[in-house]
Amino acid sequence: MPEIRLIDDEGNQLGVVKTDEALKMAEEKELDLVEISPQASPPVCKVLDYGKYKFDQKKRIKEAKKKQARVQLKEIKMRPKIDSHDYDYKKKHIEEFLAKGDKVKITLQFRGREMAHIDLGEAILAKLKEELKDSVTIEREPKLEGRQMIMIVAPIK
């Protein structure tokens, strides 16, 4: 590339300059010549301290990661013979998790002879689904897997 569009260390555009001329200018100021946008015609280069440039880029990426929302999967475990107070307490926790923006995995565990009464578990999850229908989207319908019935809900975006 015989010519480049040059920007000096203060951000002033110096126009189209020969490459070797730009390198001399950078050496005089004891800085580096960095290609900013290679796709442009002619390519855009800037005179700057490359170490500081890389440091600033890392800092920007780190800040962007901080602002990203991480969705967690919280789990609430219940039993088919759950008491009404315990049910309300667990439901309140589910609502808190959803308010924070987390997904919730609701696991209903069956033990021993409770496997003969799967309909009790289905009724509990159906009741929960009905009570939360305005504030959630069902990502996974209630499904029996071994001795557990699992349903996953997420907050409405």
Q: Going from the first residue of the chain to its last (157 residues), give the mean pLDDT of each consecutive group of 10, the final group possibly shorter.
A: 84 88 89 88 90 91 83 91 94 93 93 90 92 90 92 90
User: Which helix (H) or strand (E) segment is 63 a member of?
Assistant: helix 50-67
CATH class of the domain comprising 3-67: alpha beta
pLDDT, residue 9, reads 84
The structural domains of the chain, with segments of one domain joined by +, span 3-67, 73-155
What are 73's strand-pairing partners? Answer: 103
By C-alpha distance, which of 67, 66, 65, 30 is closest to 49? 30
Superfamily of domain 73-155: Translation initiation factor 3 (IF-3), C-terminal domain (3.30.110.10)
Longest dimension (CA), the chain: 86
Q: What are the φ/ψ torsions at residue 24 (nearest 5 degrees)? A: -65, -45
pLDDT, residue 71, reads 78
pLDDT, residue 1, reads 58
pLDDT, residue 97, reads 92
pLDDT, residue 90, reads 95
